[in-house]
Amino acid sequence: MSPRKSAAEAHRTRERIVDRSVAVASVDGLDGLTIGRLALDLGISKSGLLGHFGTKEALQLAALRRASEVFSRAVWEPASDTEPGLARLRALCEAWTTYLHRERATFPGGCLFTTSAVEFDARLPGPVRDAVVKLHQTWRHRLLADIRHAVTAGELPADSDPEQLVFELTGIFFSLNHTVQLFGDTAAPDRARRAVARLLGGPAAH
């Protein structure tokens, strides 16, 4: 096998491992990722898998990075070209709602950001918990930027508290993930849209 073909095959194997890690973690949590479990699921040897990811922690961090890529592609990128402020904030919330009930192929157990936050919120600081915190902080900062822009532009009341709005928006989408995943409530996305409309104004689903 040529070096180029060998490198391409190694890349494909690594991608398969990461994709499977994301799916497993969404159901069983990041602690559910083990070398033995993934090797069995993918039909490869433990030593072959260890050649790509030497530790469980490396697998966990790779799964988080992939989840971040999926989230960014599904939520941030569709809204990124929208005018900053309230218009983009509404677009982000709509994309976020759609993402939480449509990304079942990637996240069969629900949003990995939500499950990892619940799983690691009480853990001691470490590389995986730090990565979870950083991902959530990055998203919070993006929401805050558009809320502050909307307040400055007069699109939201001047006395709006951006931190409070982020807190409430985040609560809506944690609840949406929980309600869809635990109860299979098909009305949950429209409930989330109505909750967002009460916070930001504009039309709501009925």
**Looking up tokens 């909307």, which residue turns up?**
150
pLDDT at 192: 96
Q: Which distant-in-sequence residues (6+ apart) come within 8 Å of 20 by Cβ?
A: 38, 41, 42
Q: Domains (ranges, CATH) in the chain?
A: 3-200 (1.10.357.10)
Q: Please write the tens of the pLDDT for every residue from 57-96.
A: 999 999 999 999 999 999 999 999 999 999 999 999 999 9
Burial class from Cβ neighbours inside 10 Å (0-12, 13-18, 19+) for residue 6 reads exposed
Q: Where are the alpha helices (DSSP H) in the chain?
A: 3-28, 35-42, 46-50, 56-71, 77-79, 86-102, 112-120, 127-152, 162-183, 188-200
pLDDT at 10: 80
The whole-model pTM stands at 0.87
pLDDT at 206: 42
pLDDT at 4: 54
Q: Find the largest Cα–Cα distance for the chain.
A: 66
Of 135, 108, 133, 109, whose CA–CA distance to 121 is shortest? 133
Of 18, 183, 174, 184, whose CA–CA distance to 192 is shortest? 174
pLDDT at 5: 57
In the chain, which stretches have pLDDT less than 70?
1-5, 202-206
pLDDT at 203: 58
